[in-house]
Amino acid sequence: MLFKDLGLSAELLRAIEKQGYDKATPIQEQAIPLVLEGKDVLAGAQTGTGKTAGFTLPVLQRLQNKYSEGDKRHPKVLVLTPTRELAAQVHESVRDYGAYLPFRSAVIFGGVSINPQKQKLIKGVDIVVATPGRLLDHVQQRSIDLSKIEILILDEADRMLDMGFIRDIQKILKVIPRQRQTLLFSATFSREIKTLASEFLQQPSEIQVTPENTAVELVSQIVYPVDKMRKRELLSHKIGEESWQQVLVFTRTKHGANKLAEQLGKDGITAAAIHGNKSQGARTKALANFKAGDVRVLVATDIAARGIDIDKLPHVVNFELPNVPEDYVHRIGRTARAGQQGHAISLVCVDELKLLRDIEKLLGKGIEKINLPGYDVDPSIKAEPIANGRGGGGRNNGGNRGNNSRGRGRAGAGAGNRGNGNGESRARSGGGNQRAR
C-alpha cells in the first residue's frame, strides 16, 4: 500500500517523499489507520519492519488535526524508549516526518547535562521522547508537566521490561492523565508484555505482522564450530580472506567486547567497541565511524542488538552466542534490513552447544554447520559452564543512574542498574525507496 492511500496529510506525505519512501510496510499499513482512529494499539513486528514510522506518522497527524501553531505548548505526546540511542533515533524521525508541521519536540535521556534539556522544556514542546530514568528526574525537579499528555507510546516495550524499567513506567503512569491513547510497540509478545498491556491499554487493537521470534528470512545463517581460544583467529581469518568491510560482532560481556576490539586492532583490522560503560560521546563516535566505513568492525554487547540499524549492513557475527535465545533473533535482525540480503555467522565452541540447541528450538529448525579446514574442534576440550543471564550474568549493561546504581531486573535475568537510558545504540540510517522507520 502507498502512504498516500493511508489518509495522511499533504505535509506528512511531503516529508515522507523527502525521506525517499512511498510504500508502507505491513506494520504501517495496519497501525496507521488504527492510531488515526484514536484506538489503543498493541503492536508487534519483527525488528526492521518500520515500527517507528508506524506510530510517528499518525501521531503527528492527530496533533495536526487538533492543534495549530500558537497553541500553548504543554507536552501532548510522550514516547518512552529503553535506551538513549533509541530515544535519539525516534526524535530524529519525529523531526523528519514533522518537518512541515509547527510542532516542537524534545529528546530527554541521561549521560548528558540535564540543564539544556530543562531550557528546551521551558520554551515549550509538544512531543517528548525520553528514557524513563531521566524523565523521572525532570518530574522530580518539576521541569516538565505531564498533566496534558494525550498520547503515550512505549517503544521496544519488551526491552524496557528486560532492563527493569517497569517500576519507572508505573511511576510515570501515575503522573499522566488516565484518559489518553496508549500505543505499545514491541518486537515480541511475551506473557509479560501482554500482562503489561492489560494493565494500562483500553480494549487495544492487536497487531502481529510476523510470527513471534521468527528470524528474518533474508538472513543466511551459518555456524562454524571452533574452539573458544581460536575464535578471534578464525574471525580475523574470515574478515581478511573474504574482504568483509563492515562487520557487526556481538559478545556477551562489555569486557569481552573491549578485549576483542583490541585484539582485532592488533591483527590490523580497525575495530571499536560499543556498550553501556562507554560514554555517550564515545558510543556516538564509534557508531558514526562504523557507518562511515572508517571502522571495519563494531563489537557490541547484547543490549545493543535492537539498537543498531545500519542500511545494507552485510555481516553480523555472533562471536559468542547469547544466553537468551530470543536475543539471537534480535542480533541477526541487524542485517537484511529493508529487504536487503544479509549474512549471520556464529562461532560456536563446546561451551555453547546447549545455547545453540535452544536457539534452534526457538527457530524451529537447525542452522547449517560448516567445519572449516584448519579449525577442527579439539574433542578433548570439555564444556565449561556459562554464567546465567544476559550480558554474562549481570544486567548492568544498562549503565548507572547517577551514583546510585540502584539494581533492578526481572527474576532470573540478574540484577540491573537503572541507567538514564544508558542502554545500547539504535542509530538508524535511511536511504532509497526502502522502509520508512
CA 333, CA 48: separation in Å to the nearest integer? 7
Tens-place pLDDT, residues 264-304: 999 999 999 988 788 777 887 888 899 889 999 999 987 65
The residue-averaged pLDDT of 184-201 equals 83
| Domain 3-208, second-level architecture | 3-Layer(aba) Sandwich (3.40)
Q: What is the largest CA-CA distance in the chain?
A: 74
Residues facing residue 2 across a β-bridge? 23
Does 38 have pLDDT greater than 90?
Answer: yes
Q: How far is the CA of 414 from the CAs of 84, 254, 276, 399, 425, in angstroms?
A: 22, 15, 16, 14, 21
- Amino acid sitting at position 243: S
- The pLDDT of residue 190 is 76
- Amino acid sitting at position 80: L
Beta strands in 85-132 (DSSP E): 105-108, 127-130
Tens-place pLDDT, residues 330-376: 788 777 665 567 899 999 999 999 999 999 998 889 999 999 999 99
Does 171 have pLDDT greater than 70?
Answer: yes
- What's domain 219-393's superfamily in CATH? P-loop containing nucleotide triphosphate hydrolases (3.40.50.300)
CA 377, CA 339: separation in Å to the nearest integer? 36
In sign, the C-alpha dihedral spanning 44, 207, 155, 60 is: positive
Does 311 have pLDDT greater than 50?
Answer: yes
Does 408 have pLDDT greater than 50?
Answer: no
Q: Which residues contact 378 (CB under 8 A, 6 or more apart)?
A: 227
Classified as helix, coil or strand, 407 is strand
Are 399 and 282 a contacting pair, CB within 8 Å?
A: no
Are 422 and 110 a contacting pair, CB within 8 Å?
A: yes
- The pLDDT of residue 57 is 97
The residue-averaged pLDDT of 240-264 equals 93
* Residue 121 or 409, more confident: 121
* Residue 99 or 112, more confident: 99
- Stated pTM of the model: 0.69
- The pLDDT of residue 338 is 55
- The pLDDT of residue 163 is 81
Tens-place pLDDT, residues 210-245: 665 555 667 889 999 999 999 999 999 999 999 999
The residue-averaged pLDDT of 151-170 equals 89
- The pLDDT of residue 394 is 37
Task: Calculate the average pLDDT of the chain.
Answer: 83
Share of the chain above pLDDT 70, in %: 82
- The pLDDT of residue 217 is 67
| Cβ atoms within 10 Å of 113's Cβ, excluding its own | 7
The residue-averaged pLDDT of 149-173 equals 90
CA 318, CA 83: separation in Å to the nearest integer? 22
**DSSP label at residue 222:** E
Chain centroid to CA 80: how far? 12
What are the cell numbers at 190? Answer: 511475551
Are 80 and 172 a contacting pair, CB within 8 Å?
A: yes
What are the cell numbers at 117? Answer: 534539556
Are 285 and 305 a contacting pair, CB within 8 Å?
A: no
Share of the chain above pLDDT 90, in %: 55
Q: Name the segment(s) of the chain with CATH classification 3.40.50.300.
A: 3-208, 219-393
Name the residue among 272, 256, 277, 227 with its Cα closest to residue 387. 256
Tens-place pLDDT, residues 47-70: 667 889 999 999 999 999 887 655
Half-sphere exposure of 73 (CA within 13 A, CB side): 17
| Residues composing the chain | 437
Does 167 have pLDDT greater than 60?
Answer: yes
- The pLDDT of residue 239 is 95
Are 7 and 33 a contacting pair, CB within 8 Å?
A: yes
- The pLDDT of residue 407 is 35
The residue-averaged pLDDT of 170-198 equals 88
